[in-house]
Amino acid sequence: MSSVNQRRLAPALAYVVALAPFSIDTYLPAIPQIAEDFASDIQLIEASISTFLLGLALGQIIGAPMSDRMGRRPTAYRGLAIFVLASLGIFVCQSSEQLLVLRLVQAIGAGLTIVNINAVVSDIFEAQDVARMFNTIALILMTAPLIAPAFGAILLELLGWRSVFTFLALYGVGAVAITAWLIPETVKREKNSDSIPEIVGSALRSFKLVLSRAPAMGFTLCGGFSAGCMFVYLQDSAFVYMEVLGVSPSLFPVVFGANIAAMIGFNRLNRVLLKSYAPHQIVPWGCAIQVSMCAIFLATSLLLEPSLAIVMPLIMFGIGCVTIIIGNCMACFLAYFPKNRGAASGVAGSIQFALGGLLGSATAIVHDGTLVTTSAGMLLSACISLAFLVGLARKFEPREA
């Protein structure tokens, strides 16, 4: 593969992976309007974020063995077709219940698609280069949550909330073109690979192998709970800024974008660190920063009057360091499975999004209408992330599997 193609590959992969953040972040400013239109409680509409995350997990579980046996691109095409059709369905839905069901279907399609991206990177690059490639993709990818809320606010103002899902359908069509044009097929399709029993059998064997490697699972659970910390905040972001701190819908994209700016800063720091340190040496520092910021956030929520000047920097640093943790954890995790990267990527991705959905749902169930619930949920996730790193992934010693 030429260096020119490699330079084009990172933006192409990032565009496809951005299907997930665009699907979540673009409609955040519209959540109060959707709740009003459907005469629903805002927490019920916010639950569509958790539903989407769970759908992403399910889609990756289904898509991982398909990707290994049928090929990366055929699996992505199937997922994108589901995503586009579900997005159009949401455009015409008439109730919050229909919204939740269609968001689940939409997310399954997105999961079938994005599960291929980590596998493609691992198919092409070696361990240290995998971490660098993930870092590059992440840097490009961060433009999605940076611009998505602002773009969603514009669509909301000009055309109403349903136009957001028309945009997502068009984005999915664009992803089909990008996949066909720029993303290579990196696995050889096996004969009779469409056989459902063969795919299921392959999936069970691959998942059993992946789940049996304790150090590898330590890395993916560390990354998963760190991402869970971010998803707890993400589900509550409209509540935190608009309901508690009084931020207007037009200003919301600005304060939300500050978190992305912090993630970009940590991403650049990670790129510098990777020149001198291995991925597994960087992860503990990211976990330490995340736990510290979330602990201060909880203490602030309990002891002080909430204010934008106090809460915003804590969230920025607590969420920003996720970029140090997740990419490096994924690089370490995939190094254990050079022959089963699709299945391994599916396990890691499904765990990450399932944890995000479950933690977000749990937060919604126990929510007391204050920042204490949000900050406590974030701190719990960050602490569990660190515990798995220390408990299971103490040493990085990948052996071929």
Q: How many CB atoms lie within 10 A of CB 32?
A: 18
Domain that holds residue 154: 3-185+193-392
Rg (Cα) of the chain, in Å, rounded?
A: 20
Q: How many CB atoms lie within 10 A of CB 285?
A: 17
What total of structural domains would you count in the chain? 1
Tokens at 199, concatenated:
């795919």
Vertex 95 angle, CA 90 and 99, to 5°: 40
In a domain, 243, yes or no: yes
Q: Which amino acid is at 362?
A: A
In a domain, 398, yes or no: no
User: Pick from 272, 268, 119: which is nearest to 206 by CA?
Assistant: 119
Half-sphere CA count of 108, side-chain side, radius 13 A: 11
Residue 86's pLDDT is 94
Residue 383's pLDDT is 95
In a domain, 399, yes or no: no
Residue segments in the chain with a per-residue pLDDT below the cut of 70: 1-7, 125-132, 135-136, 138-143, 145-146, 188-200, 202-203, 206, 339-343, 393-394, 398-401
In a domain, 397, yes or no: no
Residue 3's pLDDT is 43
Answer for the pair 149, 253: CB distance below 8 angstroms, yes or no: yes
In a domain, 36, yes or no: yes
In a domain, 316, yes or no: yes
Residue 126's pLDDT is 65
Residue 385's pLDDT is 93
User: Pick from 337, 382, 359: which is nearest to 211 by CA?
Assistant: 337
What proportions of the chain, in percent to the nearest 5, are helix, strand and coil?
85, 0, 15
Q: Which residue has the tokens 């805002």?
A: 42
In a domain, 401, yes or no: no
Residue 166's pLDDT is 92
How far, in Å, are 17, 217, 218, 266 from residue 332 at the CA level?
20, 10, 10, 19
Residue 350's pLDDT is 75
In a domain, 400, yes or no: no
**Alpha-carbon gap, residue 208 to 77, rounded angstroms:** 27
Task: Report the CATH number at residue 151.
Answer: 1.20.1250.20
Neighbouring residues of 97: CB distance < 8 A, sequence distance ≥ 6: none
Residue 7's pLDDT is 66
